[in-house]
Amino acid sequence: MKKLLVLTLALAMLLGMMLPAMAEEVPYKIAILTGTTSQGEEEYRAAERLAVEYPGVVITDTYPDNFSSEVETTMGKLLQFAEDPKVKAIIMCQAVQGATAAFTKIRETRPDILLIAGVAAEDPSDIAGAADLVMGVDEINGGYQIVETAKEWGAEVLVHYSFARHMGYETIVARYNIMKEETELAGIELVFRDAPDPTGDAGMTGAQTFILSDVPKVMEEYAGKKVAFFTTNCGMQEPLQAAVLKEANAYYPLPCCPSPFHGFPSSLELEVEPEEWGNVETYLRKMAARLNEIGAINRVSTWPVGVNMSIILGGFEYAKNYIENGGERVDLDKLLEIMTKVASQSPDLTTYVDADGNNITNYFMIFFDRVDFNDYL
C-alpha cells in the first residue's frame, strides 16, 4: 500500500509539472528580427510589444549594429529561426544586407515558412524574389513630399545628407533624382553633403558628431536663407533634428522612415510612455506642444504613423491570418485591411516599379500624408 501511495503521489507530481507545459504549448511561432534601439527603436519596441502580447508565439532577436560588415551574423540569426519546426513565418525589419541570401537558403529547406521583409536595403528585385512579401516606405513619392513641404515653408535651399553605401540603393537614388528634378522646378537649390557611413570606421558616434557640427556650417554658408535638411540614415535623424531646432531658419520636412518616434523622443526630450507606442495621437499632441513651446511648430514635420512599427505589427497580423486561415501568400486586399487597422488610417499602397520599368507585384510601397503640427495643439 505504501509503494502504491508513493507511486500515485509521484505520478500526480509528474502530471502537475506536465500540465503547465502542455498549457503553454503553442501551435506555431512567428519570428521577428529587428535592429537594436540604436538605429531602429521603433521596430524593436513593436516586436517587444508583440512578444509580451503573444508569449511563446512571437520570438525575437536583433541583427548587429554594424550589419554591413557582419552579414554572416545576420544570416545566422535568420537561419536559426528556420531550424525551429514550429516557426511558420519570419518577419525582418529592417531587411538589411544578408536578408536575400538567408531567405533564399530558408526557401530551399523550409518552403512552408512565410517570409516578410520590411524596409529592404538590398536590390528590390532580389529581395522580392527571395521573400513572399516586401513592404517599404514609398521613397519615390517621399521625394515629391519632401520638396513640396520645403517649398510650402519657403525654403531656398534643401540639403541632402548621405554616403556611398546608401547612394547605391535603387530606391534612395530614385528619390534623390526626383528631389533634383522637383527642386529645379521649385527654384530651390539642392545641396548634397557627403556624411560618414555609420557602419564605417567613424561608427554611429562619428556620423552623429558630423551632423551636429555640419548643420551650423551650412547655416553660416547660407546666412539669411531658409534651409531644409534631410538625411537618408536612421541613426542621423536625432542629431539632425536637434541641430535644426537650434537654428531659426532651419527646417526638417521628413525623417527617412517617417514616424513620430523616429529621433524625436531624444531631440525633443520627450520620453515615450509605454502606452504611447500604441497611441500615436497622444504622442503627436505632446510633440506639437513642445514644438510650439520652442518656436518650431512650423519648421518640422513627419507622418502621423510609425511606418516601421506598422510594418512589424501589420506583418505579424498578416502572417497570423495566413497561418491560421490559409489563402494566397500575396493578398493586397488583406494587406490593406490589416495595415489600415494597425495604423488607424488607410495608407496608399502601390507596387514598386524598378528602374527598368518592371512592376514587382509582391513589393508594396507605403505612403501617408504629412503632419501639420498645428492640427495637434
3-class DSSP state for residue 210? helix
Domain 28-138+308-367 coded CATH 3.30.70.240: no
For the domain made up of 139-303+371-376, the CATH class stated in words is alpha beta
Split at pLDDT 50, 70, 90, the class of 37 is confident
The answer to whether the Cα torsion of 337, 342, 345, 349 is positive or negative is negative
- Residues 240-258 have a mean pLDDT of 96
Split at pLDDT 50, 70, 90, the class of 41 is confident
Query: Does residue 6 surpass a pLDDT of 50?
Result: no
Query: Does residue 241 surpass a pLDDT of 90?
Result: yes
- Say what the pLDDT of residue 24 is: 58
3-class DSSP state for residue 16? helix
Question: Cα separation of 149 and 170, whole Å?
Answer: 23
- In the chain, which residues fall in CATH 3.40.50.11390? 139-303+371-376
Judge contact between 244 and 300, C-beta under 8 A.
yes
pTM of the model: 0.84
- In the chain, which residues fall in CATH 3.40.50.11400? 28-138+308-367
Q: Which of these, 358, 343, 152, lies nearest to 254 by C-alpha position?
A: 152
